[in-house]
Amino acid sequence: MTQLPDHYQPRFGDFGDQPPTDAVTPIRLSILAVLSLITGILALPICCIPAGGTLFGLVPIGLGLGSLRAIRKSRGETAGKSLAIGGLVMGLLATIVSTLAWIAIGSQLATMPAVYTQVLESDPAIVRTVLTSSASTTITDEEITRFREGFIAEYGDAWTTPVGIAPVIKGYFAANDPKGLNAVQVSASQSPVPLPIQVDGGWTYLIVIMQQGETLGSGLPALANAAYQMPDGSLVWLLENQPTTPDNQSPQPDSADEEPSTHAPDQTSLDPDA
């Protein structure tokens, strides 16, 4: 038998032109990885919405995990691992930020009723602690007393305030529609918020006007005004001079303030012989 030269002898691991199985070139891109990256990018701005950001952030997380699992099982035939990891990371970031925002807003929502219902206290000094500096110096003790007595005359003095996020949300579902809120007109730096209060025989709303830029010791905005809703939907205000015209609208001028007419007077009315 003819002995081949040493350089023609097959060596271990030499399989001709066939590449090793560990070095298979990917032939397709994972659709799940692409969708994970796209939804992850979209989740970043949506994370500013507390509940929506938390829920939407789970989408790129699920797509990213699913695509990574499919890529691993394909043994190198499917590409897109970096895209899946990017979408997964952005989804996790959006979910964490949105969840923290939801916790912060929820904690404020849970403490709002207990803080702001102090406007119904009998002591004027306590009422002034939740008002802005301007409102607290403008309002009189008689107005505070009138506001409280009017509320008690309509709903009684056995009212209770829901405490905690779950009771507050339950109160919103149990209370009637805050009809009076639709008629409230405030400036750009103010925010009207309805707060449910349980009274004898049902629920009502305390409408508070939060003033941005002035904060209470609890971290909540101070109140520029407050009102309770009557059964017919009308509002009774703590400060009776609640503005009803927004900042971007000017009230119509009075007839006395109108400029005098520039038309020439009728000559027949001036001629005594006419």
Q: Which residue has the higher pLDDT, 121 or 107?
A: 121
Q: What is the pLDDT of residue 261?
A: 46
User: Within a 10 A sphere around the Cβ of 86, how many other Cβ atoms?
Assistant: 18
Q: What is the pLDDT of residue 26?
A: 61
At position 143, the amino acid (one-letter code) is E
Most confident of 13-17, 27-31, 104-108: 27-31
DSSP H or E stretch at residue 222: strand 221-229
List Cβ neighbours of 59 (8 Å cut-off, separation of 6 or more): 39, 43, 91
pLDDT band at 9; cut points 50, 70, 90: low
Radius of gyration of the chain (CA): 35
- Closest by CA to 97, choosing from 58, 64, 54, is 54
The model carries a pTM of 0.56
Q: What is the pLDDT of residue 57?
A: 85
Q: What is the arithmetic mean of pLDDT over 128-145? A: 91
Sequence spans of domains, the chain: 24-111, 121-247
**Helix H segments across the chain?**
31-46, 50-73, 81-116, 124-128, 133-138, 141-155, 165-174, 267-270
Q: Are 272 and 212 in contact (CB under 8 A)?
A: no
